[in-house]
Structure 1
Amino acid sequence: MDKEKIQSILHDVQNCSMSVDEAMLQLKMEPFEDLGFAKLDHHRGLRQGIAEVIYGAGKTTEQIAGISEAMLKAGQKNILITRLDKEKAEILSQTLPLHYDEMSRIGYLGELPEPDGTGTVLVATGGTSDMPVAEEAALTAEVLGNHVDRLYDVGVAGLHRLLAHLDEIMSAYVIVAVAGMEGALASVIGGLADCPVIAVPTSVGYGASFGGLSALLSMLNSCASGVSVVNIDNGFGAGYLASMINHMGGHK
């Protein structure tokens, strides 16, 4: 149940078009819905400001469809599905109004909302190979109501590429820095920006990168202040956190 639904119930009680007992019944029934294979948390949007997100990997198309349909029935306008492969997306799109992005493996129901965050979320990558993770972060932030700018392939192997975009870096409200290899991009951006920087290590790299562990440890040991780190390839987590920061208010 979202805030608008709660407000509608309260207005109905205030206008005497709904009894207190009826309102209590609706509120009691709403916290979660048991679908058998999943317990859908309808109150997450009310508690956290963002509705439950469907993690697509490991779920069948029938399970994803069932959860989505229950969320739509409960009045959820935008539904985000992460780690959704192309084959499942094609099946789901036959019965649901699904938008799908193959690079980020993100699907969403409903239209992208008008941005209502404080400022701009900037998503930057060290290389082109980091784009799938970056797009997961960027599209997550867009579905959650943020204006997102993208700055791709600006890694430290050619630092002048990054320095040519200082205006975007300085004006961003929060920056997501996505990089594999040695993960140095986050430290460099952290030393330039006056906003929070969310570092995302990727599994991109040669043998000694250990599947992204090298970038993770580099980012955790960043000497730049104001840099936080999410898990390897966790673009969704970075986009979600960036949205939370961007909706806290305040001005640049």
Structure 2
Amino acid sequence: MFHPIPFHRSLIAAFVAVCLFSISHGEETKTTSPEPGKWVSLFNGKDLEGWTPKIRYHELGENFNNTFRVEDGLLKVRYDGYDKFNETFGHLFYKDSFSHYRFRVEYRFLGEQCDGGPGWAFRNSGIMIHGEKPETMSRDQDFPVSIEVQLLGGDGKNARPNANLCTPGTNVVMNGKLFTPHCTSSSSDTFHGDDWVTVEIEVRGNEVIKHIIDGKTVLHYNKPQLDPKDAHAKELAEKQGGIQLSGGTISLQSESHPCDFRKVEIMVLEE
């Protein structure tokens, strides 16, 4: 026999359902679309949720030799499973793309470089911004077409500025002129040793990109764009209908030297 639910019980059930939906919806919004003006961590300190590896000579999603891992609350890049590096450059992609934002990491280099790593990759990593989606990379592609904010550590003796610019498949405009050198040094100090270093990037679409250390802008430029002289970048330009870049993926590099990230944060900015 049908027994109608008392009115007050119906109200309670409806209220609970609305609360559950609101909580679920709020969590989804926080994950996929951070609230503008607030710092949000993209790394949960437990696992690689939200991040996907793309390592050269391997398929998207294959974390070859456990290169990227989470231990002791740190996002670690390690090579203890490698016999030789063999130019197996890797990138760990965040699942969402961004256009206007501030992004910062706290990182450190430590230990010895992987055997077979190139000399220039000593204490070298990077943050790739305005990048292509990992799905558009070929299996054997070394770097995503992107703008790289290069992270460098010193050798204990020589000057080696940090937060430099590198441009795999891209160019930028600097001082009003198209700037095509592959790598450009910043005005930063050298950071020797294994101490934690904070690097921040301010990105405003196609308008301006700033590299910041300790609150000081050490490099800035604008109009990031695809390089039509690069075959893969040219393909991407044809697909998007132009060369200008106003947003894209964010990824962290593995270039043969062990490093840790203890903070990976973003603040979305109003466009």
TM over 0.5: no
User: Which structure has more strand as a fraction of its residues?
Assistant: 2
TM-score normalized with structure 1 length: 0.29
**Greater Cα radius of gyration, structure 1 or 2:** 2
TM-score (structure 2 length as normaliser): 0.28
Higher relative contact order, structure no. (Cα contacts within 8 Å, ≥ 6 residues apart): 2
